[in-house]
Amino acid sequence: MNELPFCPAIAFPAYLNPVIVQLGPIGLHWYGLGYVIGILFAWWYGTQLLKKKTLWHNDCPPMTPEKLGDFVIWAAIGVVVGGRLGQVLFWDPYYYFTQPAEIIAVWDGGMAFHGGLIGTIIAMILFARKNHIGIWTTFDTIAAGVPVGLGIVRICNFINQELWGNVTHVSWAVCFPNDPKYLPRHPSQLYEAFMEGLVLFILLALAIFVFKALRKPGIVSGLFIFGYGVARMISEIFRVPGEDPQWFSTLMHNTGFTYGMALSLPMVLFGIYAMYRAIKYQSS
């Protein structure tokens, strides 16, 4: 095994391995476990909110905790299928269409949040209509706990040594062993874990418990979508851009506006609309 060159920053911890345990051809990966923990936490947190009737409009939760439990399978399918198809269609369609077997290799990473969001929204709409539940209140219930899962998955991105940041000389820069140049880089995955996970979760909790946002269906959903979009656009400043589509690279050449920003900007605008709609609807 070749020794790595000298790192003028923080060396990536050698004990961090993407695979937790390997049993023959089957391995338990941090990435997959992160998604499982995130979905289960959002379900548990949502049930706790549903039990607190005073948080909801007219002290009437939109569904029972048991009914939310029925949505877990729907959510898992929406997240995994939507996230993977988002990665395939938004980011690298040529590679996946020429290597179709790789499309199902979710254990190797490669899940697009924007696709996962679309998949989950579709699942929520179908679930809400099937069970005669308000779509916005369903979205609010789920969105409240999602940031925790986002933060965990970003930490898993760090463990996988993927989506690392631009070269920098800040004191907390990290050298990733899978970086061919082995240069100090922003640990942009951890920035995203902080913004999309901790900060966004706290903002939603304040909106729910201090400002009683669940009484206005759509506020929590809108704040979540808006907050993620802003956090993602900020993190893109520090993150090495992905393989942007050729048409986009040509259009935005030397502007600093990345494909990730382009996918996130509509989220910011839609989040603002959702919050405005909720406030206007409640006051009318």
Annotated binding site: 154
Tokens found for residue 179: 């970086």
The Cα–Cα gap between 20 and 69 comes to 28
Are residues 227 and 207 in contact, defined by beta-carbon separation less than 8 angstroms?
no
| Own/partner long-range contacts of 11-19 (Cβ < 8 Å, ≥24 apart) | 11/174, 11/175, 12/161, 12/174, 12/175, 12/176, 12/177, 16/158, 16/159, 17/159, 18/109, 18/159, 18/160, 18/161
Side chain identity at residue 93, one-letter code: P
